[in-house]
Chains A and B, each alone.
Chain A
Amino acid sequence: MDQTDDLSLFRSEIAEWLEAHCPLSQRQPIKRAEQIWGGRKRVFYSDDAQRWFEACRDRGLTAPDWPVEYGGGGLTPAQTKILQQEMARLSCRLPLYDLGIWMLGPALLVYGNEAQKQQHLRAICRGEIRWAQGYSEPGAGSDLASLRTRAEDCGDHFLVNGTKIWTTAADKSDWIFCLVRTDDSGPTKHHGISFLLIDMETEGVSTTPIKLISGESEFCQTFFDNVKVPKENLVGELHGGWAVAKELLKHERKMMSNPESMSEVFNISLTKLAQDAIGLDETNALSSPEIRSRISQHMMRDAAISQLGMRIFQQAKAGVSDPRLPLLMKHIGTQETQVKDEIVLEILGAEGLSFDDDAASQQARTMLERWAFNKSLTIAGGTSEIQLNIIAKRVLGLPSGESA
């Protein structure tokens, strides 16, 4: 049996399995309140959600492309793509949302030692531990490497002091992966940064939510006050955490470039929304020619961005990857998402101007929340300006100047 036969067999097997195990209620567009997040404080929105999560967990489908020995599904990239296609075809919800799955796990698979992989990967796949990210600081945003949270070497442990900001859902998380400064005598500020895993139940860790323009508080500030962290929680080389950070950022940007893979899958049909809100004229064209053109332009670009993703995938599969293309995705994807959000807001008109007006429809409020939340997409994970710097220097090879 050749490879193509293997894959089509896999496709029919996985389709059958999804059909049998994914409850109908888990085949609806996801709402934020119904997402399945892991962790010690995990709560299932419904019995169906729990059944769906457990079925996937037991088959390794919460992290389908991780090795089986760490709780993953052991799927090849081609099989993973097929799984995603089949899940999309049936509109299956993601069985588990977690920064451990999207970001920490892939970095641990590259940089973690065997004990760390054993300790953390399976717990992530099983949804037992929820992870937060401790990167940015009040004084270190785009210039991340200037971070000042300090980890002092105290023999058998590190003593951590400092603060991290934009720590997503830190108040609901169990562990946090952090970039900390262990040395500042190095030749560059990138040297002397280390990558630490910290149990948030350790004494001295505290979090405060930050209220956002949407009225929600998805991000926190997290404080470390003489927190003792065991030496074995260091990932990668001491002072060499920047390499781990970069590996992880790659996965973060990949995730953010595709809003559908992000925490809020939110499948509103722009065309349906416009038809309902604006109406069609006698030629079956939208009554507003301007909105019609803008939707058309956005939908073309949106489709082309997916096709760009497909090109990157096909190149990787054929072993002819153009390393420049993935570096474009974060900026392009987040930019286009915001274009869509602005069109949506304009279509909603006065319906979409309040986060808590009971007279507005739930759909309109959800879309407004999305508009506000998505403003963070071009800031978090490396701002668009940083992305353009990277494209200018690493993709186009323009000369270095004063900018980072």
Chain B
Amino acid sequence: MILNDEQRMLQESMIDFLNDQAPVEAFRTLRDDPSLGAYDQQLWRGMVELGLPGLTSPEAYGGSDFGWLGMGAVLEEMGRRLTAAPVLSSVVLAQELIRHCASPAQLEDWLPPLVMGEHVLTAAINEGPHYAPDRLETRWIDGHLSGEKTLVMDFDGADGLLVVARDAQGDGVVVRVAVDAPEMTVHSRRLMDGRNYASVVFNQTPVHAHDVLAGDAVAAGLARALDITAVAMASEMLGGARELIDRTVAHLSEREQFGVKIGSFQALQHRCAQLYCDLEVAASAVYAALDALDRQQEEITQLASAAKALANDCFQKTSSEAVQLHGGMGVTDEMDIGLFLKRSRVCNQLFGSSDFHRQRYASCLGI
């Protein structure tokens, strides 16, 4: 559950790279200019040069098989800087869907372009306002896709779309669709976290069988890919919470009222201390899940639910507290605190809210 020397070196080089290429100001530039798309292409090319898209993929497909604790450290650093890049969508979610649902021949064909960063895919999971991957309505029948998907990440920067659906028998399938496919309506916009998401309506969109991942492995593969992505999302959220605590402590140590630093007030100290305790508890759940992935543990549902639920709660509370502890400045757009606050609420809905994961964890416990 702790980083080894190699992983620490990766983390350090990532910190240098992100400090240089993607400080929070870079995210602001992206947010304030819709013409820039879902993410900065130059930043993404830099990440590709560093080998980031292949971090968790097997060497046989061009990856470095560096493992999930390392990837978690990278995502934490991105979370600290609100870095927008197709890492969660393409590197984690799309690659994992393919890895766990594809046949060997499809793997050979689909995976390497993603691992090399030549292609960027995103995935359409959600339907309606809430995450409920067990209740898919979207159907792929007779070579045509029908249904409505929401909250598709990074759509404007993707070369294609993996759509999770069911076939005529009700079995899970993963369908590859071009971003400009016919009989498909896209509503692409930014949400309050300043990032690009799309709602997509498929109205008998034609899809060839060779663009479909189907078979016995899909149900379990889909569940695993989503669990892994939930853990990865939680890693990013930890980074956000860590950054907020650092910034809040720095503010309280500088700001003076009544002739003293306000950080010397016990009421404020205790709130910060409690936030830090909750952060390290959530972090431990996330690291345990990443560690289980690196040990190839088969059953990770329970660990993934704990990681995501605790990270949701932690980031949500920390961001609300950070706004309050920054006083009036906390509600201005000039301060970055609000950017983290808004990001936290979007992250909560991606790959499962706390309620979703608490209920699922309870089911794992048999209650």
B residues in contact with A332, CB < 8 Å: 277, 280-281
Our pick among A297, A307, A395, A403 for the contact of B1 (Cβ within 8 Å) is: A307
Our pick among A275, A308, A314 for the contact of B280 (Cβ within 8 Å) is: A308
Known contacts: A301-B310, A305-B281. The answer to whether A271 contacts B261 by CB under 8 A is: no
Cβ B281 vs Cβ A308 within 8 A: yes
Q: Tell me, in angstroms, the Cα distance from A318 to B1 when the chains sit together.
A: 11
Cβ A391 vs Cβ B277 within 8 A: yes
Q: Mark A258-290, 1 if CB is under 8 A from B, else 0.
A: 000000000000010011000010001110000
Cβ B265 vs Cβ A271 within 8 A: no
Q: Is B105 engaged at the interface, CB distance under 8 Å to the other chain? A: no
Q: Chain A: which residue is nearest B358 at the CB level?
A: A296
Q: Tell me, in angstroms, the Cα distance from A140 to B20 when the chains sit together.
A: 53
Q: Tell me, in angstroms, the Cα distance from A305 to B285 when the chains sit together.
A: 8
**Chain A nearest CB: distance from B250 CB in Å?**
10
Cβ A310 vs Cβ B1 within 8 A: yes
Q: Is A360 engaged at the interface, CB distance under 8 Å to the other chain? A: no
Q: Is A397 engaged at the interface, CB distance under 8 Å to the other chain? A: yes
B residues in contact with A400, CB < 8 Å: 264
Cβ B264 vs Cβ A402 within 8 A: yes
Known contacts: A305-B281, A398-B252. The answer to whether A328 contacts B367 by CB under 8 A is: no
Q: Mark A50-89, 1 if CB is under 8 A from B, else 0.
A: 0000000000000000000000000000000000000000
A residues in contact with B365, CB < 8 Å: 271, 295-296, 299
Cβ A399 vs Cβ B287 within 8 A: no
Q: Chain B: which residue is nearest A395 at the CB level?
A: B276
A residues in contact with B359, CB < 8 Å: 285, 292-293, 296
Our pick among B249, B265, B272, B362 for the contact of A296 (Cβ within 8 Å) is: B362
Q: Is A303 engaged at the interface, CB distance under 8 Å to the other chain? A: yes
B residues in contact with A395, CB < 8 Å: 273, 276
**Chain B nearest CB: distance from A284 CB in Å?**
8
Cβ B249 vs Cβ A396 within 8 A: yes
Cβ B253 vs Cβ A398 within 8 A: yes
Question: Of B261, B276, B363, which is in contact with the most chain A CB atoms at under 10 Å from its CB?
Answer: B276
Q: Is A19 engaged at the interface, CB distance under 8 Å to the other chain? A: no
Cβ A392 vs Cβ B361 within 8 A: no
Q: Is B64 engaged at the interface, CB distance under 8 Å to the other chain? A: no
Cβ A403 vs Cβ B266 within 8 A: yes
Known contacts: A293-B359, A295-B365, A396-B272. The answer to whether A315 contacts B280 by CB under 8 A is: no
Q: Tell me, in angstroms, the Cα distance from A314 to B3 when the chains sit together.
A: 10
Our pick among A303, A387, A393, A399 for the contact of B285 (Cβ within 8 Å) is: A303
A residues in contact with B210, CB < 8 Å: none
Our pick among A274, A285, A293, A385 for the contact of B270 (Cβ within 8 Å) is: A385
Known contacts: A296-B361, A307-B288, A311-B284. The answer to whether A401 contacts B265 by CB under 8 A is: yes
For chain A, the bracket of interface size reads 35 or more
Q: Is A300 engaged at the interface, CB distance under 8 Å to the other chain? A: yes
Q: Tell me, in angstroms, the Cα distance from A303 to B309 when the chains sit together.
A: 13
Q: Tell me, in angstroms, the Cα distance from A303 to B288 when the chains sit together.
A: 10
Q: Tell me, in angstroms, the Cα distance from A261 to B182 when the chains sit together.
A: 64
Q: Tell me, in angstroms, the Cα distance from A232 to B126 when the chains sit together.
A: 73
**Chain A nearest CB: distance from B357 CB in Å?**
8
**Chain B nearest CB: distance from A329 CB in Å?**
9
A residues in contact with B310, CB < 8 Å: 300-301, 304
A residues in contact with B261, CB < 8 Å: 399, 401
Cβ B309 vs Cβ A392 within 8 A: no
Q: Is B226 engaged at the interface, CB distance under 8 Å to the other chain? A: no
Q: Mark B327-367, 1 if CB is under 8 A from A, else 0.
A: 00000000000000000000000000001001101110111
Q: Mark B236-273, 1 if CB is under 8 A from A, else 0.
A: 00000000010001001100000011011110111011
Cβ B362 vs Cβ A315 within 8 A: no
Known contacts: A300-B310, A304-B306, A396-B249. The answer to whether A295 contacts B367 by CB under 8 A is: yes
B residues in contact with A303, CB < 8 Å: 285, 288, 306
Q: Is A325 engaged at the interface, CB distance under 8 Å to the other chain? A: yes
Known contacts: A300-B306, A307-B288, A398-B253. The answer to whether A285 contacts B276 by CB under 8 A is: no
Cβ A311 vs Cβ B276 within 8 A: no
Q: Chain B: which residue is nearest A318 at the CB level?
A: B2
Q: Is B42 engaged at the interface, CB distance under 8 Å to the other chain? A: no
**Chain A nearest CB: distance from B301 CB in Å?**
13
Cβ B269 vs Cβ A392 within 8 A: yes
Q: Chain A: which residue is nearest B268 at the CB level?
A: A398
Cβ A274 vs Cβ B273 within 8 A: no
Cβ B249 vs Cβ A300 within 8 A: no
Known contacts: A328-B280, A399-B264. The answer to whether A293 contacts B362 by CB under 8 A is: yes
Q: Is B274 engaged at the interface, CB distance under 8 Å to the other chain? A: yes
Q: Tell me, in angstroms, the Cα distance from A190 to B260 when the chains sit together.
A: 26
Cβ A396 vs Cβ B367 within 8 A: no
Q: Tell me, in angstroms, the Cα distance from A331 to B363 when the chains sit together.
A: 29
Question: Of A285, A305, A398, A403, which is in contact with the most chain B CB atoms at under 10 Å from its CB?
Answer: A398
Q: Tell me, in angstroms, the Cα distance from A385 to B274 when the chains sit together.
A: 10
Q: Tell me, in angstroms, the Cα distance from A325 to B281 when the chains sit together.
A: 10
Our pick among B264, B273, B367 for the contact of A280 (Cβ within 8 Å) is: B367
Q: Chain A: which residue is nearest B260 at the CB level?
A: A401
Known contacts: A331-B277, A401-B265. The answer to whether A308 contacts B362 by CB under 8 A is: no
Q: Tell me, in angstroms, the Cα distance from A297 to B312 when the chains sit together.
A: 12
Cβ B367 vs Cβ A286 within 8 A: yes
Starting from the known contacts A397-B253, A401-B265, 11 additional A-B residue pairs (CB-CB under 8 Å) come to A296-B358, A296-B365, A301-B281, A303-B288, A304-B310, A311-B2, A320-B2, A332-B277, A391-B276, A396-B245, A399-B264
- Pairs across A and B, CB under 8 Å, 30 listed: A271-B367, A275-B366, A275-B367, A285-B363, A292-B362, A293-B355, A296-B359, A296-B361, A296-B362, A297-B309, A297-B358, A300-B305, A300-B306, A300-B361, A301-B310, A303-B306, A304-B282, A305-B281, A307-B1, A310-B1, A328-B277, A391-B273, A396-B249, A396-B273, A397-B249, A398-B268, A399-B261, A399-B263, A401-B261, A401-B264
- Considering the complex of A and B, which 3 residue pairs feature the smallest CB-CB distances, nearest first? A401-B264, A392-B269, A391-B273
